[in-house]
Structure 1
Amino acid sequence: MFETISVATDARGVATLTLDRAEKHNAMSAQMISELTQVAAQLGADDTVRVVVLTGKGKSFCAGGDLGWMQDQMAADPETRFTEARKLAEMLQALNTMPRPLIGAIQGNTFGGGVGLAAVCDVAVGVNGLKMGLTETRLGLIPATIGPYVIARMGEARARRVFMSARMFDAAEAVELGLLARTAPSDGLADAVEAEVAPYLICAPGAVASAKELVRTLGPCIDDAVIDQTIRALVNQWETEEAHEGIDAFFDKRKPDWVANS
């Protein structure tokens, strides 16, 4: 049914949702964005599903947005750019509002939009040794549509430490920043995730869903107006000379001019 993701549900109702583009470090293509939106709706509507575990196949959890997809946005007209940015924003909100606990099993490096995927998880556990980073500004872009979720997770003060600089940070700092709840060795990740999953299996599913909805309404507001603001910010940045230079430099395997001239 899906080509870029896979889903398997065990007898307990624990669904494992796996990003399945290992050869591309699970970078989010237009197809993956669409499939994640679809599966969030399906899992959220399935009363047999008690918990969803989000993970990735291969060495990386998610390298962010697929560069080919981003290059397509550089060549697109403004209306198409806005439509594609909205699809990305709606996917994140679909996962964020899914009425099932979402547990992140962050098994590898996580950059750009992948940090957004980790941030929409109710709990994220990462392997020791992974690297994370909001790397968009290296390409002349900004972490726009993921921004509300990242800032809700970190808080503004901690987000400012890494939101604009594209600085890489390790798993321990990700815990300090609030992106990860805790870390585990690679051979202990499954047990650490199971420790987060198990408590939900003795809770009333409807109460869990209602509690999740309540905590979202009590936290930072991420409504249609906020989402539209982030879409406009991303589209506006896509139209800048910096974005074109950053994407072109990546594909040309050269330094962008702001690095080459520094």
Structure 2
Amino acid sequence: MAGPDRGVVTLTLDAPANRNALSAALVAELAAALEEAGKDDSVRAAVLTHTGTTFCAGADLREPPDPGAFVALLRQVVELPKPVVARVTGHVRAGGLGLLAACDIAVAGSAGGTEASFALTEVHIGVVPAVISLTLLPRLDPRAASRYYLTGERFDAAEAARIGLITAYATGADDVDGVLAPVLDGLRKAAPGALADAKKLVTARVLDAFDKEADAYVALSAHRFGSAEAREGMAAFLERRERSWAL
């Protein structure tokens, strides 16, 4: 955790060799950093960013987090009394989209020739985007959710903005930090208490999903990860071969 810089603290996913996959350790570390930021009166907002070419590749298939712990992390982002702003300059896959959707504001761009890209690839390995639906479905355009949940297609930042996954994106000569600058300036000017209460207004639908659906989605996630399809899909992924069901 770096900062705060004029009230804005930066939290960096820093496991580039593992494409910042969500391991049990990474989930615990991010939860601890968020808790610290939430308690720090000098912090007005948190920026969640990453090292390497991938913001987050989803669950670490070698050391996956407990679904309950991941749900708790997503809820922690949503309930944090400080806005959480995602800064994405690389790829986002599977569970990483759930983390992105938990953030209040998300801005994407490019860095070092890598353009931001997104995909819900779960069905390709025999699982489903169950737990992350808590943050995704209240935000996404329903038709787009149907398409990308079912096909696992990759899409770019312009499409991510169109369907409600991200707030804005940098284009052409624009720089992602240039797009972020007025956002952060606006947060710095906001009264802390008013900011916290305003966040409650815009996250109410997301928290309603947690209250109503979290247990069912955790159970579905556990069911799918324990299935024969998941065992085959994850083995194929790790062995870099085609899945047995692919046509």
TM-score by length of 2: 0.92
> What is the Cα deviation at residue 36 of structure 1?
1.4
Post-superposition CA distance 1:20-55 (Å, at most 9, x none): 001111111110011112222221121110011111
For 1:130, the equivalent position in structure 2 comes to 116
Give the structure 2 partner of residue 116 of structure 1. Answer: 98
2:148 aligned counterpart, secondary structure: coil
Alignment pair present for 1:163 and 2:149: yes
- Corresponding position: 1:89 with 2:71: yes
Gaps in structure 2 of 5+ consecutive residues = none
CA-to-aligned-CA distance 1:221-255 (integer Å, 9 cap, x gap):
22344111110110011121111110111122211
Query: Residues of 2 paired with 1:112 and 1:218: CA distance?
Result: 22
Note the aligned Cα RMSD (angstroms).
1.7
Quickly say closer, same or farther: Cα 1:126–1:99, change in 2 above 3 A.
same
Match of 1:98 in 2: 80
What's the offset of the Cα at 1:218? Answer: 5.0
Identity among equivalent positions (%) equals: 34
Assess if the C-alpha contact under 8 Å between 2:4 and 2:42 holds in 1: no
| Aligned counterpart, 2:179 | 192
1:36 aligned residue: 30
TM-score (norm 1): 0.87
State the Cα deviation string for residues 95-129 of structure 1 (Å, max 9, x = none): 11111111111110110111111111111111153
Partner Cα distance (1:154, 1:56) in 2? 23
Asked if structure 1 preserves the Cα contact closer than 8 Å seen for 2:7 and 2:44, the reply is yes
Residues paired across the two proteins, number: 242
Q: Does 1:228 align with 2:215?
A: yes
Q: C-alpha deviations, 1:124-157, integer Å up to 9, x for none? A: 1111532100111111011111112111111433
Tell me the equivalent position of 1:77.
none
Moved over 4 A (4+): none
Corresponding residue of 1:207: 194
Structure 1 distance, partners of 2:168, 2:228, is: 40
